[in-house]
């Protein structure tokens, strides 16, 4: 960011970078877990739909980590350089897939729990950045909208699994 771009950020930048970095770690962990669950679900006719939704959602989470990384770097920070630090950096830890990959309901509930955590994180960041950092604000509100959609899509599966 240039001089004026920095000037309009009215928040403690290291603190903001730390918030964004925690969210960045959450996104990688969600992307990995969703993609993994999409790869292993088997055993029922509906599995193909659930697998496709898991993998599509994983792609959204990967986009989110990319968008967060761009903002972190433009604020002068670095995302997480060491992969083994992702879990300790994250807000919510790893959304561990259930042991039984045939337990669709447990899979769906794992995703819903992660999405609710993400909604809380971006809602809080939206409030924190409002009027203080319009670019980060725009980004977190955009991501928040997608997390709200994710929760809704997986909640609507609960009646069917
Ligand atoms: Fe996300
Ligand atoms: Fe999500």
Tens of pLDDT along 50-104? 999 999 999 999 999 999 999 999 999 999 999 999 999 999 999 999 999 989 9
> Is residue 7 in a domain?
no
Q: Are 55 and 34 contacting, i.e. CB atoms less than 8 angstroms apart?
A: yes
Closest CA to 146 of 11, 31, 21: 31
Containing domain of residue 86, as a range?
A: 12-158
Cα 147 to ligand 1 centre (Å): 6
> Is residue 128 in a domain?
yes
For the domain that residue 35 is a member of, what is the CATH number? 1.20.1260.10
Mean pLDDT across the chain: 95
Cα 159 to ligand 2 centre (Å): 20
67 secondary structure, DSSP code: H
> Is residue 6 in a domain?
no
Q: Are 125 and 21 contacting, i.e. CB atoms less than 8 angstroms apart?
A: no
> Is residue 96 in a domain?
yes
pLDDT computed for residue 43 by the predictor = 63
- In this structure, what is the dihedral angle of CA atoms 34, 39, 44, 49, given to the nearest 10 degrees? 60
Q: Are 106 and 43 contacting, i.e. CB atoms less than 8 angstroms apart?
A: no
Closest CA to 24 of 84, 94, 107, 80: 80
Name the closest ligand to CA 148. 2
> Is residue 2 in a domain?
no
Number of domains in the chain: 1
Name the closest ligand to CA 23. 1
Cα 3 to ligand 1 centre (Å): 30
> Is residue 81 in a domain?
yes
Q: Using alpha carbons only, what angle is made at residue 106 by residues 53 and 67, rounded to the nearest 5 degrees?
A: 45
> Is residue 137 in a domain?
yes
Ramachandran bin of 76, using left for φ above 0, alpha for ψ from -120 to 50, beta for the remaining angles: left
> Is residue 3 in a domain?
no
C-alpha 84/C-alpha 82 separation (Å) is 6
pLDDT of 120 above 90: yes
Cα 38 to ligand 2 centre (Å): 14
């Amino acid at each position: 960011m240039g001089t004026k771009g920095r000037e309009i950020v009215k928040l403690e930048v290291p603190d903001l970078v730390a918030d964004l970095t925690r969210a960045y770690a959450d996104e990688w962990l969600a992307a990995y877990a969703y993609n993994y669950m999409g790869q292993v679900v088997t055993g029922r006719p509906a599995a193909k739909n659930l697998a496709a939704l898991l993998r599509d959602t994983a792609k959204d989470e990967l986009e989110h980590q990319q968008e967060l990384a761009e903002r972190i770097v433009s604020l002068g920070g670095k995302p997480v350089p060491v992969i083994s630090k992702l879990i300790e950096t994250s807000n919510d830890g790893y959304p561990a897939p259930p042991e039984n990959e045939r337990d669709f309901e447990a899979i769906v509930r794992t995703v819903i729990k992660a999405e609710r955590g993400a909604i809380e994180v971006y809602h809080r960041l939206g409030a924190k950045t409002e009027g203080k950092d319009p670019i980060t604000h725009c980004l977190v509100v955009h991501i928040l909208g997608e997390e709200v959609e994710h929760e809704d899509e997986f909640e609507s599966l609960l009646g069917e699994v």
